[in-house]
A and B are shown apart, each in its own frame.
Chain A
Amino acid sequence: MNAPMTQFAKPWVANPDGYRVPYEVFTDQAYYEQEQEHIFRGETWSFVGLDAELPNNGDFKSTAIGDTPVIVTRDQNGQLHVFKNLCMHRGALLVRESRGNVKSFDCVYHQWSFDLTGALRGVPMRRGVRGEGGMPAAFDMANFGLDALRVEVMNGLIFASFSKTVEPLADYLGEGIVANIQRIFNRPIRIMGDYRQYIHGNWKLYAENTRDPYHGSLLHLFHSTFGLYRATQKGFTYMDPSNRHSLLKATASAAPTSASEDQEVYKDVRSYNTEFRLQDASILAGRPEFEDRASLVINAIFPNLLIQQIANCLAVRQSVTHAPNAFEIVWTLFGYADDDEEMQMIRMKQSNLVGPAGLISMEDGEAIEIVQDAVIRDGKKTSVLAMGGVHAGSVDHMITEGPIIGFWENYARYLKLGAGLKK
């Protein structure tokens, strides 16, 4: 579908009192189509997996970029490839399993066979049967290799792009984001497993949610309910120079240097709610494992990735779109290959905090759906993004909606809406 762009809302203007986004971006199929073309299949790098998911030659996984099905595989020489999951013959899904290990990709329909580098190696009955049928002389198997995407791997994170012209991954991410990837993926990881969370809402509501450092203490009440609110928590909000990606980082700036100081710091905030106490606080037990002592790192990478560190709970979250009103978050939690048994147990217990059943994160699914449900017939009405000043960019606090504005400015640029940039 190629809807004329003129049907979209007027250019989005950042007024002094707020940046406004029309709700139709969350509901209108025309936007969804343009996003698939210009964002997911456009000049971007999408996250498709971790190389630790594919440790052996011949391993593959199927996933999607936006809603385009793709295969990620490691060939017999250890090289990673990403292909469209689409047989070059008649368009069948080449891989129907979510994961596996193969020597070749064989389509079940007519058994066309592709090697792990994507080359077509076998076409049954190519020379016909008893002199009958067969492919024409002009048919050249070399012309029917799988559609391959560009692939770059950074510290074990596999990214792919449909674009031949997008800048190299490191430039796309920018130094600050690369530094965070290097910080978290500093040594071999051990995959703990996946969660999949199906949300009846638009994927961009989650892009907003993960670029919104100030909803945390307001929507997510687990810590404050149990008197665990961390008053000394100090954070900052970093954005890459293009404002596509954001990094929300919180540390205890007044990091308690002694047990008595810790007690003093917590003395008042524990009264935040005096009624409830955790009966088993081992869920919060942890070990500092990063020099910067950051307790919360939420790194949103345009368009489909989030890297999180919440205490010792490490994860990547990949967004897969299904429709304007449906997407899925694929969470992959991990630890490090050198974790001792106690550390593995710490991470297992802390995993209670995140994911679809996460004590501090489950609300995000509900927050997205209540927006989606409300705006259904009010596409021309707009949200207002004003907290922290009406601009994207890095700031030394977390009371801001700047990263969300950065997302929308780039969104408008990718969709050629010619908007949102006027001040």
Chain B
Amino acid sequence: MSSSSLLSSQSAAFSKDKPSAMVPDDFIWQGYSALETQWRVERLLSRYVACIDDDNLEAWPSFFTQEACRYEIITRENVERGLPLTLVFCTSQGMLADRIVSLREANIYPQRWYRHIVSNVLIQAVAEDYLEVHSHYVVLQTRRNGQTSIFSAGKYKDRIVFQNGELKFAEKRVVVDTHSIDTLLVSPI
């Protein structure tokens, strides 16, 4: 595979989906084998959704890189129309933290639990200093009446980097199939 085309990509999360078959089975990334890289990526995603579902939201910003990071939730409808509008648009850890303070202190929303199911974790591209990873998610919502429904389904398009011995999201673009938002969206996806 040509790594130069990957490195020249301005933003991995914004690039078009590429067939993952382009990524060889035997790559080495940051000293890790392909197998261990896959395992570390899946562990990162599992920890990320556990942080949200266990209501440990104050820790949520720490899953992102400290200097510049990007977190977006955008509907597939807007993506397919080539339009930029996001439901959530954060360009720093501070903006992520502000969202959580707002959720805790300011916003009014129904009592509910979220449960994320993440699957189909595909390393789409391997560059020297980042991975481009796509995965599918479903968020189940349980309202206070005890009934559970699918709140959101979609795709994570992540740009993951290795920083201080840990994997972090430099970019996380959540592309939401469920473009009709059920009442409101307060927690991160």
Contact = CB atoms under 8 A, between A and B. Distances in A.
Question: Is B truly associated with A?
Answer: yes
Interface of A: 98-99, 191-200, 219-222, 224-226, 276, 278-280, 282-283, 328, 333, 344, 348-349, 351-352, 355-357, 359, 362-363, 365-367, 369
Contacts, number: 132
A362 B85 contact: no
A283 B98 contact: yes
Closest 10 CB pairs of A and B: A193-B85, A279-B94, A280-B94, A193-B83, A356-B181, A225-B106, A193-B78, A357-B185, A192-B85, A362-B184
Nearest to A363: B108
A359 B185 contact: no
B17 to A, nearest CB: 20
B55 interface: no
B166 interface: no
B81 A99 contact: yes
Given A198-B180, A276-B105, A363-B108, 15 more contacts: A99-B81, A191-B83, A193-B75, A194-B83, A195-B75, A198-B183, A225-B105, A279-B92, A328-B180, A356-B184, A357-B185, A359-B99, A365-B183, A366-B110, A366-B183
A30 to B, nearest CB: 26
Interface string B118-158: 00000000000000000000000000000000000000000
B81 A362 contact: no
Interface of B: 73-75, 77-78, 81, 83-95, 97-99, 101-102, 105-110, 179-186
Contacts of B102: 222, 225-226, 359
Contact of A222 (B91, B97, B107, B109): B107
A278 B105 CA distance: 12
A162 B76 CA distance: 33
A80 to B, nearest CB: 19
DSSP class of B's interface residues: helix, strand, loop or mixed? mixed
A196 B152 CA distance: 13
Contact of A357 (B93, B94, B186): B186
Residue of B84, B95, B108, B184 with highest tally of chain A CB at under 10 A: B184
A357 B182 CA distance: 11
A215 to B, nearest CB: 11
Given A198-B181, A348-B86, A362 B109 contact: yes
A362 B107 contact: yes
A221 B105 contact: yes
A88 B99 CA distance: 50
Contacts of B81: 99, 193
Contacts of A279: 92-95, 97-98
B95 to A, nearest CB: 4
Given A225-B106, A362-B107, A197 B184 contact: yes
Nearest to A278: B98
A226 B105 CA distance: 9
Nearest to B80: A99
Contacts of A200: 183
A193 to B, nearest CB: 3
Contact of B101 (A224, A276, A348, A366): A276
A369 B183 contact: yes
Given A193-B83, A351-B89, A356 B185 contact: yes
A222 B99 CA distance: 10
Contacts of A193: 74-75, 77-78, 81, 83-86
A366 B109 CA distance: 6
Nearest to A328: B180
Contact of A359 (B74, B78, B91, B107): B107
Contacts of B95: 279-280, 282-283, 352
24 contacts: A192-B83, A192-B84, A193-B74, A194-B77, A194-B83, A194-B85, A194-B179, A198-B182, A221-B108, A222-B107, A225-B105, A279-B98, A348-B84, A348-B85, A348-B86, A349-B91, A356-B185, A357-B181, A362-B184, A365-B184, A366-B108, A366-B184, A369-B110, A369-B183
Contacts of B77: 98, 193-194, 196
Contacts of B87: 195, 355-357
A367 B107 CA distance: 11
Contacts of B110: 366, 369
A197 B181 contact: yes
B75 A225 contact: no
B73 A357 contact: yes
Contacts of B89: 348-349, 351-352
A282 B78 CA distance: 24
Contacts of A222: 102, 106-107
A420 B6 CA distance: 67
Contacts of A226: 98, 101-102, 106
Contact of A280 (B86, B92, B107): B92
Contacts of A362: 107-109, 184-186
Given A191-B83, A193-B81, A193-B83, A280 B183 contact: no
